[in-house]
Amino acid sequence: MASIVVGYVPGAEGAAALAQARRVAELFQDELAVVNVRTTGRGLGHGHAHGEDAADDLNSIAAELESAGLSFEIIHPEGDYDPADEILAVASRLGARLIVVGLRHRTPVGKLFLGSTAQRILLEASCPVLAVKAGQALRD
């Protein structure tokens, strides 16, 4: 079974990416791999949910995917990690059909100092990448 890999962070861009990844997984009847790259406290991961809020968010996602009958796994990188490396590694390990990432607006200075997870994934992925803006969706 092929896989759709989604880089998930709590927030609008993560929700948009997850919604589109779910849609594609349902269309192709693929497994969905949700790579949770939220803040670890020390790692390079990013996002806004911490502790119980993050667990509640992911439990809610798991319950929703389970009730939809989707085959899925939620992957939690540990320790110090780079989100792009984790997403690319999961995609490689699973032989992903597609990677889905959410985009957020960043200033030119922010891009210069922080790099761009989405840009690295777009350039380095060995499969197609779907970049989704928060608030936008594919139309039927």
Each residue of 8-18: pLDDT tens digit?
999 899 999 99
Model pLDDT, residue 140: 59
Number of H helices and E strands in the chain, helices first, is 5, 5
pLDDT band at 61 (very low <50, low <70, confident <90, very high): very high
Given a cut of 50, whether residue 49 has pLDDT beyond it is no
Asked if 105 and 11 count as a contact pair (C-beta separation under 8 A), the reply is no
> Looking at the whole model, is its pTM more than 0.95?
no
Interacting residues of 8 by C-beta distance below 8 A, sequence separation 6+: 14, 17, 18, 34, 35, 36, 37, 38, 61
Given a cut of 60, whether residue 46 has pLDDT beyond it is no
- What is the dihedral angle through the alpha carbons of 131, 100, 98, 137, rounded to the nearest 10 degrees? -70
